[in-house]
Amino acid sequence: MTRLNRVSILPLAMTVNTDYGISLITGATGLLGSHIAEQLRRCGRKVRALVRPTSDVSFLQSIGCELVHGDVTDRASLIEACRGVDVVYHCAARVGDWGPWKEFVAISIDGTRNLLDAAVAAGVKRFLHISSISVYGYVDGEGTVFDETTPLGYGLYKWAYYSRAKVEAEHIVWDYHRAGKIPVTVVRPSWLYGERDRATLGRLIDSIRQRKCKLIGDGNNRLNVVHAANAAEACILAANAERAIGEAYNCSNDGELTQGAYFNKIAEALGEPPVTKCVPYKVAKTAAFVFECLGHALKRKKPPLVTRYSVWLIGRRSFFETRKAREQLGWESTISYDEGIPAAVKWYLTEHDSTVD
């Protein structure tokens, strides 16, 4: 076991409620889902993973997860997956900020409702829903701070499919909770990174290696970035805390980290020079809007070079408060940026770069 895993697991071994039986994880082959599965297994919990037949399940098999083939769009498969389950960790969603709206509806919105119905029918005791800090909307501004009392969905434009679907899914979850159908807790992670990050880390690494990476703005804005293992700890704590029933928790940072510091910690781990080139935030946002318009007009399946969501994700000066999770759940980030970023880069290079020993 690596030092990274040992540090992140020990606190959970003392806090996880062992009265629960099987934990079902949707999206278990993804970044956050796989870390939740890993930590639950290391704590001796039984984990059932809902996976598609075409998914790479080698990691889940290696840690001893029970695999059930199915999909959140297949109601029959969910009934079987929820049988005998005590806790559901719903991580599955249509990810990314590009693609047809009908896919976001089918997977993120209707899929959530399908899973809730199956969980209710099976008598599941707790439902932990993974939302996103983007549900608050794309508000930006120096000194703007969001906590869990902030209303959802501010300023979401027509093509903000990922965030719009996340808002709708969360509304459905709260409706089931208020109706007394199932006890619910919501966790809203921010930009995730870590081992098994196949979404953004590779693109950043390629961009830095090719000397094409640019800071959006001056790079001094504080990023909302959290290691997936730390976020997994928050999810497990929330799913096992009685006081967390009916509550939402932001899980959005592991301390102080600016955009420039994040990019340059990656560059340092790669042995590349620091990222110094920059583009003004407004210029990047305007360019992203033009790219989006062209992409939709031409009905392109491949996402444009940059989108408004990605510009907001990287360059915004607003921030998301995590005090509630720290105070109510006792959550602390056990993997620091200084430890986690180099380890994540090393994992990626080991997996994807044949020149790495």
Q: What does 111-124 look like in DSSP terms, one character per residue? A: HHHHHHHHHHHHT-
For 56, residues 6+ apart whose C-beta sits below 8 A from its C-beta are 29
What is the amino acid identity at position 180?
A: G
d(CA 238, CA 254) in angstroms, rounded, equals: 17
pLDDT at 11: 43
H helix or E strand, kind and range, residue 230: helix 228-240
pLDDT tens digit sequence for 230-261:
999 999 999 999 999 999 999 999 999 999 99
CA atoms within 13 A on the CB side of 179: 11
Return the structure tokens found at 185: 């807790």
For 237, 313, 316, 320, the CA distances from 143, given in Å and listed in that order, are 29, 16, 10, 11
pLDDT at 25: 98
pLDDT at 257: 95
Return the structure tokens found at 201: 């880390």
| Structural fold of domain 3-197+224-254+319-335 | Rossmann fold (3.40.50)
pLDDT tens digit sequence for 194-235:
999 988 899 999 999 999 999 999 999 999 999 999 999 999
> Reduced to 3 states, what is the DSSP secondary structure of residue 184?
strand
d(CA 95, CA 161) in angstroms, rounded, equals: 10
pLDDT at 16: 46
Contact between 215 and 261 (Cβ < 8 Å) = no
What burial letters (b/e) apply to 56-82, b meaning 16+ CB within 10 Å?
ebeebeeeebeebbbbbebbebbbebb
pLDDT at 306: 87
Print pLDDT tens along the chain (357 aa): 333 343 343 344 334 444 568 999 999 999 999 999 999 999 999 999 999 999 999 999 999 999 999 999 999 999 999 999 999 999 999 988 889 999 999 999 999 999 999 999 999 999 999 999 999 988 777 668 889 999 999 888 889 999 999 999 999 999 999 999 999 999 999 999 999 998 889 999 999 999 999 999 999 999 999 999 999 999 999 999 999 999 999 999 999 999 999 999 999 999 999 999 999 999 999 999 999 999 999 889 888 888 889 998 899 888 899 999 999 999 999 999 999 999 999 999 998 874 444
pLDDT at 171: 97
d(CA 244, CA 186) in angstroms, rounded, equals: 9
pLDDT at 41: 96
